[in-house]
Amino acid sequence: MHAIEARNLWFRYEGEWVIRGVSWVVEPSRAVGLIGRSGSGKTTLLRILAGARRPSRGSVFIMGMDPRKARGILAYVPQNPSHSFYMPTALEEVMDSLIGIKGLSKRDAATAAMNILNAFGLGEYAGENPFNLSWGEQRRLSLAVVAAYGPRVILLDEPSTGLSYRDKEWVAALLNGLDSTMVIATHDVDFLLLMGVDEAVELENGVLEPLSCGRLVSRSEVYMVLRTAELPEPVRCSSAVPWGDPLRRP
């Protein structure tokens, strides 16, 4: 059974076709990067896959079922993590998932939630209002909430936006620790490389096309800097250390 299956998806927005005949399959436990310029329709496609928006034509299946009926199996993580918070403390955010989806008692949920927060480096913020956390901490909390109930499919919209490199490393490591199928919509190719995604696709003019590893790497900012940088000529050690210098060996 495919983790995600999209069949001939079309979506029109303000008279324009944003999604054009997208058919796509993602297999279980695969991490897939979805790239595209700003406004290319990445978020729209994710929301269609999540069941939050109906396609004009076509159909979507998550683990063989309608995404709107996939509660507990499917998770959608929006670009702004605070959009998914509504409990007064970080601990209660995680507890809510454990009680509502996993069916744990309040006592067991509190213990499990604290363990999860500690694993995500958020234990000291258990009693904090989520809106008082830094952007990076909010991102980690949004992932902790998802990890609490272990969905089989996770759709992430720009998970690295606004993060420092250290926080990107945190998030990439946390995501890689989840045994879930993931689609990561982002313009941050370096984050996808940091995650080591299994494959990548590009959405352009409403059409989805596969990206080879080489083409993905060529979109990396690091690659572009190295390709255009004026690097110094290599210097032989014998030239760098003059005769008579005590560091130079005969």
Q: Is the pLDDT of residue 160 over 80?
A: yes
Other beta carbons less than 10 A from residue 210's beta carbon: 10
**Could you write out the DSSP letters of every residue in 20-79?**
EEEEEEE-TT-EEEEE--TTSSHHHHHHHHHTSS--SEEEEEETTB-GGG-BTTEEEE-S
Residue extents of the structural domains in the chain: 1-73+156-167+186-250, 79-150
Tell me which residue of 68, 62, 64, 56 sits closest to 21, measured CA to CA. 56
Tell me the per-residue pLDDT of 48-58, one tens digit each, with 9 for 90 and over.
999 999 999 99
pTM here? 0.83
10: left (phi over 0), alpha (psi -120 to 50) or beta: beta
At residue 13, φ and ψ (nearest 5 deg) are: -130, 120
Q: Which CATH number fits domain 1-73+156-167+186-250: 3.40.190.10, 3.40.50.300, 3.40.50.720, 3.40.640.10?
A: 3.40.50.300
Tell me the per-residue pLDDT of 195-250, one tens digit each, with 9 for 90 and over.
889 999 999 989 999 887 777 777 666 544 444 545 455 444 444 444 454 444 44
Tell me the per-residue pLDDT of 90-126, one tens digit each, with 9 for 90 and over.
999 999 999 998 899 999 999 999 999 999 999 999 9
